[in-house]
């Protein structure tokens, strides 16, 4: 067994723990009555209802309520009404909320290994990302969650991130210099943008529009569906197709809640999260194409970034990714890259 797998497995192989289906689900304390009980599941996300993530959550609700004969009810909350990613994740750990689906990036303070998905220019396509997330690497990272009072049921899609700003088009590595860019609260993003000569400012997703509107930052970076759904075009004239990072969403369940469920109820949750996840990934990719056309129509000045310039950017941030590969585990990073290479050969 590879070192990084051993380290991750030992971290979670608690006595009597049954690791099911690669999602790290623990042995069911299970409801003594078994079967399906009347339950209410509070599910919150930071994005809007019209975003593919919001649509995916609606699909999850529909599936859980159908599969449980209406006994398990899902209450959806959008646009960070229950708080930002970190606050909602803490609410799950405290048993105050049952489901949230954040980007992996804000979790890196808790589970450092998730930072490998913040390395710039690792993936060229969504399929390459899926091969890592749905394969050994993604499954082993899910097994890290129970020790943090969380259960992970799989990965949905935030997607490839592109840069918007109010100053000028970003066509070359040089063009980042001096730009004040909002980043997620994530050390890899912070260090990478600093290395490119930008001036990064970490903040929660819910604060981004106000910061852009008030010009406390010049720009931000997010997938096209988020740029459109959050109406960043209203305050950001320039969109540069950097595709610099692919960010996953991770479907999180409160372990306190999960351990009360019967095996049947856990299967309903897991199957619904995975079925809704496939639906959400497909919808996200369709919406990204449509969003680009809509953002152009809304007047954003869109520029492509050449492969040569992306290679230059990758070279500039290499000392950052080398530093964090050591911190997160070189074996883990090597395994991710070998999965990517395999996907590229398909």
Instruction: Write out the two tokens for 93.
Output: 């750990």
Q: Which of 247, 262, 266, 280 binds ligand KDG (CB under 6 A)?
A: 247
Please identify, using beta-carbon distances, which residue of 131 and 185 lies nearer to ligand KDG. 185
Q: How far is residue 126's CA from residue 280's CA, in Å, rounded to a whole number?
A: 13
Please identify, using beta-carbon distances, which residue of 248 and 329 lies nearer to ligand KDG. 248
Q: Which of 89, 158, 165, 229 binds ligand KDG (CB under 6 A)?
A: 158
Please identify, using beta-carbon distances, which residue of 83 and 146 lies nearer to ligand KDG. 83
Nearest-approach distance from CB 244 to ligand KDG, in angstroms: 13
CB 162 within 8 A of CB 239: yes
Instruction: Write out the two tokens for 268.
Output: 């309903």
Nearest-approach distance from CB 85 to ligand KDG, in angstroms: 5
Please identify, using beta-carbon distances, which residue of 8 and 227 lies nearer to ligand KDG. 227
Q: Is residue 155 involved in binding ligand KDG (CB under 6 A)?
A: no
Nearest-approach distance from CB 44 to ligand KDG, in angstroms: 9
Q: Which of 24, 52, 102, 248 binds ligand KDG (CB under 6 A)?
A: 102
- DSSP readout, 253-322? EEHHHHTTS-HHHHHHHHHHHHHHHHHHHHHHHHHHHHHHHHHHHTT-EEEE--HHHHHHHHHHHHHHHH
Nearest-approach distance from CB 257 to ligand KDG, in angstroms: 20
Site size with ligand KDG, rule: CB under 6 A: 12
Q: State the residue number with the nearest CB to ligand KDG.
A: 46
Please identify, using beta-carbon distances, which residue of 47 and 333 lies nearer to ligand KDG. 47
Q: Is residue 184 involved in binding ligand KDG (CB under 6 A)?
A: yes
Please identify, using beta-carbon distances, which residue of 5 and 241 lies nearer to ligand KDG. 241
Q: How many CA atoms lie within 13 A of 88 on its CB side?
A: 30
Q: How far is residue 238's CA from residue 299's CA, in Å, rounded to a whole number?
A: 9
Please identify, using beta-carbon distances, which residue of 36 and 295 lies nearer to ligand KDG. 295
Nearest-approach distance from CB 255 to ligand KDG, in angstroms: 20
Q: Is residue 85 involved in binding ligand KDG (CB under 6 A)?
A: yes
Fill in the per-residue mask, 216 to 235: x = in contact with ligand KDG (CB under 6 A), - = not in contact.
------x---x---------
CB 213 within 8 A of CB 143: no
Q: Which of 103, 236, 242, 272 binds ligand KDG (CB under 6 A)?
A: 103
CA distances (Å), 138 to each of 24, 152, 252, 271, 292, in order? 11, 10, 14, 17, 29
Check residue 152 and report its DSSP letter.
E
Q: Is residue 205 involved in binding ligand KDG (CB under 6 A)?
A: yes
Check residue 135 and report its DSSP letter.
S
Restricted to residues 8-47, the positions that interact with ligand KDG (CB under 6 A) are: 45-47
Q: Give the position of tokens 């106000």.
A: 210
What is the DSSP pairing of strand 99-100 with strand 72-77? unpaired
Please identify, using beta-carbon distances, which residue of 118 and 259 lies nearer to ligand KDG. 118
What is the SS3 assignment for 18?
A: coil
Restricted to residues 283-342, the positions that interact with ligand KDG (CB under 6 A) are: none
Q: How far is residue 49's CA from residue 275's CA, in Å, rounded to a whole number?
A: 18
CB 295 within 8 A of CB 302: yes
Nearest-approach distance from CB 192 to ligand KDG, in angstroms: 14
CA-wise closest residue to 118 among 323, 286, 285: 323
Residues near ligand KDG (CB under 6 A): 45-47, 85, 102-103, 158, 184, 205, 222, 226, 247
């Amino acid at each position: 067994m590879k070192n990084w797998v051993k380290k991750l497995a030992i971290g979670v192989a608690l006595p009597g723990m049954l690791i099911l289906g690669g999602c790290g689900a623990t042995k069911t304390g299970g409801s003594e009555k078994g079967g399906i009980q009347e339950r209410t599941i509070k599910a919150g996300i930071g994005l809007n209802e019209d975003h593919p993530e919001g649509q995916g959550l609606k699909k999850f609700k529909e599936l859980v309520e159908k599969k449980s004969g209406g006994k398990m009810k899902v209450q959806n909350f959008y646009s960070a009404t229950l708080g930002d990613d970190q606050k909602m994740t803490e609410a799950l750990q405290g048993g105050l909320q049952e489901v949230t689906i954040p980007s992996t990036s804000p979790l890196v303070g808790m589970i450092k290994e998730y930072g490998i998905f913040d390395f710039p220019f690792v993936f060229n396509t969504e399929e390459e990302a899926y091969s890592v997330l749905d394969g050994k690497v993604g499954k082993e990272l899910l097994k890290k969650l129970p020790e943090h009072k969380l259960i992970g049921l799989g990965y949905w899609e935030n997607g490839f991130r592109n840069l918007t700003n109010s100053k000028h088009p970003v066509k070359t590595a040089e063009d980042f210099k001096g730009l004040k860019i909002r980043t997620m609260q994530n050390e890899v993003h912070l260090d990478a943008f600093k290395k490119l000569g930008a001036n990064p400012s970490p903040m929660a997703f819910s604060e981004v529009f106000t910061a852009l509107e008030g010009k406390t930052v010049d720009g931000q970076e997010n997938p096209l569906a988020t740029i459109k759904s959050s109406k960043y075009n209203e305050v950001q004239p320039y969109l540069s197709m950097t595709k610099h990072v692919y960010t996953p969403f991770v479907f999180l369940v409160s372990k306190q809640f999960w351990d009360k469920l019967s095996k049947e109820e856990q299967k309903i949750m897991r199957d619904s999260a995975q079925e809704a996840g496939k639906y959400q990934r497909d919808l996200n990719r369709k919406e990204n194409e449509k969003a680009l056309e809509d953002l152009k129509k809304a007047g954003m000045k869109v520029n492509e970034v050449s492969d040569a310039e992306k290679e230059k950017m990758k070279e500039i941030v290499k000392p950052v990714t080398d530093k964090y590969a050591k911190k997160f585990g070189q074996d883990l990073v090597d395994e991710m890259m070998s999965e990517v290479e395999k996907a590229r050969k398909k």
